[in-house]
């Protein structure tokens, strides 16, 4: 590995030269001053691409044998581990997303909805050059596993970086489900819970807008970042038809090269207050909410079970349960589950054991996903999947793709929802969904809040 230190700069500005390219990602610790935000990465100019779509999995445009997980694992193994450690946890590897629907490659699950946005279900680039920024130390580096020439090429383009204000974005959102229909379907989830089918399901809705002319996905990301800075934020171009602009607050899986795993499921939400007193009261109410704590505990148990498939016996622990964490627009209850992987188990094995995340499915997981498919109005697509980097050394970090705009050449989609448990109230669930989706809808100037 070749490492060159560079001057600190705003990672968003540094990414600008690559913002219009079909495979480029900014993994952005956007919550400045937040202890959860340290590393930002620019993954640019991949040497290989992997895309899963309706015709199968392709590598550099050619269809290959294998399911998406197998192909991703195989392509990572072809490159191997870096020779030396870099200055940050990630110094080269795969960056991309896994759509929620990839769960069908792991379990027998229904899919009654069409892919109405015409987008892939997985897309990764493999990157041998990464630009890293350390927010804590205000330092930066370029690391290259592809030699000096590759490093110099990226360094030269980085030197041309300049940023202009985002383009004005006017548009109108429409909901796939009216308020009355959303609440009715939450009531159907409650019927399933009352009947003993499930304990919890994560029910969600979608808002759609036509993409304004001249507005890029990077424009939308910068607008979202200003409204809702988040520790696991990201902008990712995933081929010619898909861009993800994410302000995710939720880590899915973090894996060290020596096999230590952490997941941080979120369940439980209240809005930030308008005053310091109201804000503190909302945080205290969330901490003491029996309903939200029960919701969180169910998912902790689910994640403990999923991790137990690949973890060393006795290594799964819960060092933090139902802690209140505060973000730009909401307070959340967040728990931490840790484990140690068994020997010869790698990052893709860990994904197979746990994907999709329990916080955005429900418990029991498979039955909850069947009910989600029955009652939701559309495919989730990337939403509720994961955005991840996977190092050539076997390390990984990933975020649940919530609080995320899904951007195509024609349209923009914004999803939100919440966990439904036995004492959920449909009207309150709808209001919670609106709190979560508000920053996404706010990225369009005249969007307003759909009725």
Residue 330 lies in a domain: no
Residue 344 lies in a domain: no
Assigned token pair, 14: 């540094």
- The residues annotated as belonging to the active site are 250, 267
What confidence tier does 450 reach under pLDDT thresholds 50, 70, 90?
A: low
CA distance 39 to 340: 23
Nearest Cα to Cα of residue 16 among 241, 217, 213:
217
Q: Which residues contact residue 64 at a Cβ distance below 8 angstroms, ignoring those fewer than 6 apart?
A: 56, 57, 58, 71
What confidence tier does 85 reach under pLDDT thresholds 50, 70, 90?
A: confident
CA distance 139 to 348: 31
Residue 300 scores a pLDDT above 80 = yes
Residue 342 scores a pLDDT above 60 = yes
Instruction: Render pLDDT for 188-238 as a digit per residue (tens, 0 to 9).
Output: 999 999 999 999 999 999 999 999 999 999 999 999 999 999 999 999 999
Residue 266 lies in a domain: no
Q: Which residues contact residue 435 at a Cβ distance below 8 angstroms, ignoring those fewer than 6 apart?
A: 269, 271, 329, 330
Residue 162 scores a pLDDT above 60 = yes
What confidence tier does 315 reach under pLDDT thresholds 50, 70, 90?
A: very high
Instruction: Render pLDDT for 301-311 as a digit per residue (tens, 0 to 9).
Output: 999 999 999 99
Instruction: Render pLDDT for 345-402 as a digit per residue (tens, 0 to 9).
Output: 999 999 999 999 999 999 999 999 999 999 999 999 999 999 999 999 999 999 999 9
Residue 105: what pLDDT?
Answer: 95
Assigned token pair, 442: 């706010």
Q: What is the CATH number of the domain that holds 248?
A: 3.60.120.10
User: What average pLDDT does this structure show over 259-285?
Assistant: 95
Note down the domain range covering 142.
Answer: 2-175+206-259+378-415
Lowest mean pLDDT among 86-90, 194-198, 435-439, 447-451: 447-451
User: What average pLDDT does this structure show over 406-416?
Assistant: 98
Residue 447 lies in a domain: no
Task: Check: CB of residue 413 under 8 Å from CB of residue 246.
Answer: no
User: What average pLDDT does this structure show over 185-190?
Assistant: 98
Q: Which residues contact residue 240 at a Cβ distance below 8 angstroms, ignoring those fewer than 6 apart?
A: 22, 409
Residue 449: what pLDDT?
Answer: 56
In DSSP terms, 130 is beta-bridged to 43, 143
CA distance 223 to 225: 5
Residue 83: what pLDDT?
Answer: 60
Helix (H, G, I), strand (E, B) or coil at 405: strand
User: What average pLDDT does this structure show over 423-448?
Assistant: 92
Assigned token pair, 339: 């484990």
Q: Is the pTM of this model over 0.85?
A: yes
Report the mean per-residue pLDDT for the chain: 95
Residue 357 lies in a domain: no
Residue 229: what pLDDT?
Answer: 94
Task: Check: CB of residue 111 under 8 Å from CB of residue 99.
Answer: no
Residue 92 lies in a domain: yes
Residue 314 scores a pLDDT above 90 = yes
Residue 340 lies in a domain: no
What is the distance of C-alpha 428 from the center of its chain? 25
What is the distance of C-alpha 154 from the center of its chain? 26
Cα separations (Å) of 421 from 100, 194, 297? 21, 10, 12
57-61, long-range: CB < 8 A, 24+ apart: 57/122
Nearest Cα to Cα of residue 393 among 79, 168, 50, 108:
79
Number of domains in the chain: 1
Task: Check: CB of residue 42 under 8 Å from CB of residue 29.
Answer: no
Residue 339: what pLDDT?
Answer: 98
Residue 251 lies in a domain: yes
């Amino acid at each position: 590995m070749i490492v060159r230190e560079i001057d600190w700069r705003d990672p968003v500005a540094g990414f600008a030269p690559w913002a219009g390219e079909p495979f480029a990602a900014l993994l952005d610790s956007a919550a400045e001053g937040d202890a959860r935000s340290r590393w930002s990465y620019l993954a640019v100019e991949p040497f290989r691409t992997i895309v899963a779509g309706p015709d199968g999995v392709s590598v550099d445009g050619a269809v290959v044998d294998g399911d998406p997980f197998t192909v991703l694992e195989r392509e990572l193994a072809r490159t191997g581990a870096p020779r030396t450690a870099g200055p940050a946890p990630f110094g080269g590897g795969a960056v991309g997303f896994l759509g929620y629907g990839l769960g069908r490659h792991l379990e027998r699950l229904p899919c009654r909805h069409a892919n109405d946005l015409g987008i892939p279900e997985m897309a990764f680039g493999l990157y041998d050059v990464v630009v890293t920024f350390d927010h804590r130390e205000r330092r930066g580096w370029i690391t290259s596993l592809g030699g000096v020439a590759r490093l110099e090429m990226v360094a030269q383009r980085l030197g041309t970086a300049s940023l202009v204000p985002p383009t004005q974005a006017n548009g109108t959102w429409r909901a796939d489900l009216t308020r009355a229909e959303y609440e009715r379907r939450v009531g159907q989830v409650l019927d399933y819970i009352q009947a003993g089918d499930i304990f919890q399901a994560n029910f969600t809705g979608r808002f759609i807008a036509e993409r304004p002319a001249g507005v890029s996905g990077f424009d939308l990301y910068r607008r979202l970042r200003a409204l809702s800075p988040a520790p696991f934020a990201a902008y990712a171009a995933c081929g010619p038809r898909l861009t993800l602009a994410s302000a995710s607050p939720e880590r899915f899986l973090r894996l060290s090269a020596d096999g230590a795993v952490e997941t941080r499921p979120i369940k439980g939400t209240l809005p930030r207050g308008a005053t310091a007193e109201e804000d503190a009261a909302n945080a205290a109410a969330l901490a003491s909410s029996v309903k939200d704590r029960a919701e969180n505990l169910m998912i902790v148990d689910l994640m403990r079970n999923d991790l137990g498939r690949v973890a060393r016996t006795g290594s799964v622990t819960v060092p933090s349960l139902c802690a209140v964490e505060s973000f730009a627009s909401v307070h959340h209850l967040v728990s931490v589950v840790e484990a140690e992987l068994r020997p010869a188990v790698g990052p893709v094995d860990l994904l197979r054991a746990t994907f999709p995340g329990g916080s955005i499915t429900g418990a029991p997981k498979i039955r909850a996903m069947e009910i989600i498919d029955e009652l939701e109005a559309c495919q989730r697509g990337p939403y509720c999947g994961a955005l991840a980097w996977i190092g050539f050394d076997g390390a990984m970090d990933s975020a649940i793709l919530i609080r995320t705009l899904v951007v195509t050449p024609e349209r923009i989609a914004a999803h939100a929802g919440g966990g439904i448990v036995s004492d959920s109230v449909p009207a309150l669930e709808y209001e919670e969904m609106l709190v979560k989706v508000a920053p996404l809808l706010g990225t369009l100037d005249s969007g307003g809040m759909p009725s």
